[in-house]
Amino acid sequence: MSYKKDGSYQTVCPRDCFGVCSLNVTVENDKVIKVKGNDSNNNSQGYFCLKGASYPKRLYHEKRLRKPLLRDKETNTLHEISWDEAYEVIIEKLDYYKKKQSTESVMYVSGWGHTGIFNGYKNGFWSQYGPVITTYGSLCMAAGSTAVKYSYGSPIKHNHNSDLLNSKLVIVWGANPANTNIHRMRYIKTAVKTGAELIVIDPRVSETMIAGSVRIHPIPGTDALLAIGIAKLLIEKDFCDHEFIERHVLGFDTYQMELEKYSMSEILKETGLELAQIEMVVDAIRRNKVYALVSGTGKTRYTNGGQTERAICILPALTGSIGISGGGLYFTDNQQPKVILPFVPTDKMKAKIHVGKFAEELKRQTPDIKMLWIEKANPLTSSPDVNQMRAVMKQLEFIVVVEHFLTDTTKLADLILPAAMFSEKDDLIAVYGDSYIHLLQKLTEPLESCKSEPEIYRALGQKMGFDLKHLPLINESLIDDVLNHNDIKTTYKTLSKAPYLEDTYSEIAYADYKFNTPSGKIEIYSERMKVLNQNPLPAYVSSKENTTYPLQLFSSHAAERLNSQFTEMKLSKRNSKPTVQIHTADAETRHIKDGDLVKIYNDRGEIKVLCQVGEDVLKGCIHLSEGWGDDYHASVNKLIKGRSTDIGDGTAFHNCLVEVKK
């Protein structure tokens, strides 16, 4: 029987992305047959990407997991089992560890494969089982978001993307919206067409460097110094808005003194830039004191990432470019109300292991862990130090992975559970790319025996005698209860027509000049940084890795993938093979030609990829997109050590030196 009548329904893409595209989905005979953009929200406005368009194929892809799979340890082969058998195996293991050792022999790991509010449902199960170990920290934007929160207060906000049309100058810094935020990029393109200046700061030629843009290529990880150089010149030349600073900024005077510690010659040497380039940026700001600063996560994935973001994100405050149309800092937009799941008991998980240092910390910090439960994550591709992590995971006794596809991580799983996807579950989506609350609608029954995580937890809970009030059925009435409990004035039915925007939403962020920081001002000086043993003022500390390998490797997010997802869809011919970009001079000294197959290596591992030789990346650096798995011999995280960022417990993927050989 079909879950819904044939027809067209509105929903949203639940991927971990700035897009949060509202979609119109055509359902026929319980199958999604078409996905289109939907203009029910004012951010995505009917636009969507090739990944969203691929759902009708991806849902029914031949490689999609359809049945639970159990590994026969002796033959190392997977064979299909029923859900009842799968539950039996899981319960036997969970009981065994609880009795033999403790529930802390079990570790729960989740990523952001799916971004729904109902990800929190897991606590309804795990808190009834007993405290289990989990990770803390982030693979994603935590260094940057902590920096922005400390500077501007929480929640983080930005002007509506459409306000970019009112900007005469857009500076994109360590962000690549052409790939990662297509809605913002549409506006940037239009703004440039109608005369806005665009400056893009990135160590490589990124897809965002469209015709007419000015390109600035600092040496990776040195952006804080570039920002410090810009601040120095803005202050020296007296281009600042002193009235704005007096009213709304804390720490300007002390920062001015701090800046004297940095000489321009040191800034130029470290960043590899010329004075004229920094002066050019400063001059563009002089001409456009109100300008948009689009600040991304690329330059925050270093050990100095938080301080780098601090140095950059306070720049608009110096010329009063905050709280005003045409101006503003664009990091993330989180103006939607928080949604709490009222039926979920308090989280009892013990977050002991830094998610980016998993490999190193798992055995050292928690030698008693025997069982892993992984869902919505592919750490053996997306987390650092893949080789070491694989070795550590091999020593564990039992690994469960809930997944859509066979990934690098499932290769180590003892039990693989097939997860529901996209149209196969109800959820609420409220992420960082817009300030809406969206409904992800269940429109079709899960394919074959796939199940959503809540269904799995509820069934397990039922068999284990858990209190089912913490594991309710997710349906329209439960979602209405959740909305009601959070005092959000909408319903499932209303959300099924269009996403929800709170009436407190402001198209111009901070138009009220209220900054939710301890001082109520934009904090260039942040006392909170001291608690993290950091300079309370933006500062620069080198992030260069301390090894002798000569080339700096950094990675970025690809248009046709979502981290490690969508590889199976082969959405792009142009980028169908993993390719490393290397500078002509570095290629010549290594006798490497364009199109050669090369080995990238250091003492953590090696990968083999094709080589693109040219001037698209700085000399001394190489660039490769993240997310390629081992099947492509291009798992960049094999080369990368797990390190924490200075603040926010983020992951410093890009502190990485390597060598390249033909």
Ligand X SMILES: Nc1nc2c(c(=O)[nH]1)N[C@H]1C(S)=C(S)[C@@H](COP(=O)(O)OP(=O)(O)OC[C@H]3O[C@@H](n4cnc5c(=O)[nH]c(N)nc54)[C@H](O)[C@@H]3O)O[C@H]1N2
Q: Residue type at 109? A: V
Q: Which stretch binds ligand X (CB under 6 A): 58-66, 345-353, 369-377, 504-512?
A: 369-377
- Binding range to Mo ion, per CB under 5 A, among 137-145, 262-270, 398-406, 615-623: 137-145
180 touches ligand X by CB under 6 A: yes
What are the C-alpha distances in Å from 313 to residues 68, 173, 328, 359, 475?
Answer: 47, 10, 10, 32, 41
> Which of 510/554 has CB closer to ligand X?
554
Task: Output 17 or 488, the one with its CB closest to Mo ion.
Answer: 17
Contact region with Mo ion (CB under 5 A), list: 132-140, 205-213, 328-336, 649-657: 132-140
Q: Which one of 175, 329, 400, 428 is in contact with ligand X (CB under 6 A)?
A: 175
- Closest to ligand X by CB, 93 vs 114, is 114
Query: What is the C-alpha separation between 492 and 470, in angstroms, rounded?
Result: 21
What residue has token string 């319960």? Answer: 91
Residues 6+ positions from 187 with CB-CB distance below 8 Å: 161, 162, 164, 165
Interacting residues with ligand X between 141 and 170 (CB under 6 A): 141
Interface region with ligand X, contact rule CB under 6 A, candidates 39-47, 76-84, 359-367, 551-559: 551-559
407 binds, among Mo ion, ligand X, none (CB under 5 to 8 A by kind): ligand X
Footprint (CB under 6 A) of ligand X, residues 383-442 = 402-405, 407, 419
If one asks whether residue 578 binds ligand X (CB under 6 A), the answer comes out as: no
Binding mask 98-137 for ligand X (x = CB under 6 A): -------------xxxx-----------------------
Check residue 559 for interaction with ligand X (CB under 6 A). Answer: yes
Beta bridge partners of 583: 614
CB 384 within 8 A of CB 653: yes
**311 near 281, Cβ under 8 Å?**
no
Contact with Mo ion (CB under 5 A): which of 86, 140, 380, 529? 140
Check binding of 431 to Mo ion (CB under 5 A): no
Instruction: In whole angstroms, give the CA distance from residue 513 to residue 392.
Output: 50
Interaction of residue 562 with ligand X, rule CB under 6 A = yes
Which part of the chain contacts ligand X (CB under 6 A), choosing from 251-259, 327-335, 379-387, 503-511?
379-387
Tell whether residue 637 is a contact of ligand X (CB under 6 A): yes
Instruction: State the binding partner of 565 from ligand X, Mo ion, none, CB within 5 to 8 A by kind.
Output: ligand X
Cα-trace Rg, the chain: 25
Q: Where are the alpha helices (DSSP H) in 272-385?
A: 275-287, 305-313, 315-318, 358-365, 379-382
Give the bridge partners for 552, in sequence order.
621, 657
Q: What sign does the CA torsion over 368, 373, 376, 379 have?
A: positive
Q: Which two tokens stand for residue 452?
A: 């959503």
Contact between 556 and ligand X by CB under 6 A: the answer reads yes
Q: Which does 118 bind (CB under 5 to 8 A by kind): Mo ion, ligand X, none?
A: none
Residue 555 near ligand X by CB under 6 A = yes
Q: Give the nearest distance from C-beta 356 to Mo ion in angstroms.
A: 12
166 binds, among ligand X, Mo ion, none (CB under 5 to 8 A by kind): none
* 18 binding ligand X? (CB under 6 A): yes
Does position 40 bind ligand X by CB under 6 A? no
Question: 309, 360, 568, 626: which one contacts ligand X (CB under 6 A)?
Answer: 626
Q: List binders of ligand X among 588-617 (CB under 6 A).
A: none
Stretch that binds Mo ion, among 4-12, 136-144, 168-176, 645-653 (CB under 5 A): 136-144
Q: Which residues contact 508 (CB under 8 A, 6 or more apart)?
A: 159, 160, 163, 323, 324, 325, 328
Q: Is the peptide bond before 337 cis (omega within 30 degrees of 0)?
A: no
Number of residues that bind ligand X (CB under 6 A): 60
Q: Which residue is nearest to ligand X (CB)?
A: 298
CB of 140 to Mo ion, least distance (A): 3
- Asked whether position 16 contacts ligand X by CB under 6 A, the answer is yes
DSSP codes joined into one string, 395-464? TSSEEEEEESS--TTGGG-SEEEEBP-GGGS-EEE--SSSS-BEEE---SPPSTT-B-HHHHHHHHHHHT
Distance CA 78, CA 71 (A): 4
State which residue, 241 or 626, has the beta carbon closest to ligand X: 626
The answer to whether the beta carbons of residues 343 and 470 sit under 8 Å apart is yes
End-to-end alpha-carbon separation of the chain, Å? 57
The site for Mo ion, by CB under 5 A, has a size of 1
If residue 185 lies in a helix (H) or strand (E), which one and from where to where? helix 182-193
Q: Could you say which of ligand X, Mo ion, none residue 381 binds, taking C-beta under 5 to 8 angstroms by partner kind?
A: ligand X
Q: Which of 440, 467, 640, 647 is nearest to 555 (CA)?
A: 640
Of the candidate spans 140-148, 152-160, 605-613, 629-637, the one that interacts with Mo ion by CB under 5 A turns out to be 140-148
By C-beta, is 140 or 392 nearer to Mo ion?
A: 140
CB-based contacts of 180, cutoff 8 Å, min separation 6: 17, 18, 296, 557
Select 97 or 457, whichever has its Cβ closest to ligand X. Answer: 457
Q: What are phi and psi of 179, to 5 degrees?
A: -95, -40
What distance in Å separates the CA atoms of residue 303 and residue 307, rounded to the nearest whole number? 9
Shortest Cβ 429–ligand X spacing (Å): 12
Q: Does 220 bind ligand X (CB under 6 A)?
A: yes
Among 71, 376, 411, 604, binds ligand X (CB under 6 A): 376
**202 HSE (CA, 13 A, CB side):** 32
Distance separating alpha carbons of residues 632 and 624, to the nearest angstrom:
13
Interaction between residue 653 and ligand X (CB under 6 A):
yes
Q: Taking CB under 6 A as the rule, does residue 204 contact ligand X?
A: yes
Considering CB distances under 5 to 8 angstroms, the limit depending on partner class, which of Mo ion, ligand X, none binds residue 161? none
Structure token digits, residue 412: 């180590």
Say how many CA atoms lie within 13 Å of 128 toward its Cβ.
21
Residues in contact with ligand X by CB under 6 A are 16-18, 111-114, 139-141, 173-176, 179-180, 201-204, 206, 218, 220-221, 223, 296-299, 301, 375-379, 381-382, 402-405, 407, 419, 554-559, 561-565, 626, 636-637, 640, 653-654
Residues in contact with Mo ion by CB under 5 A are 140
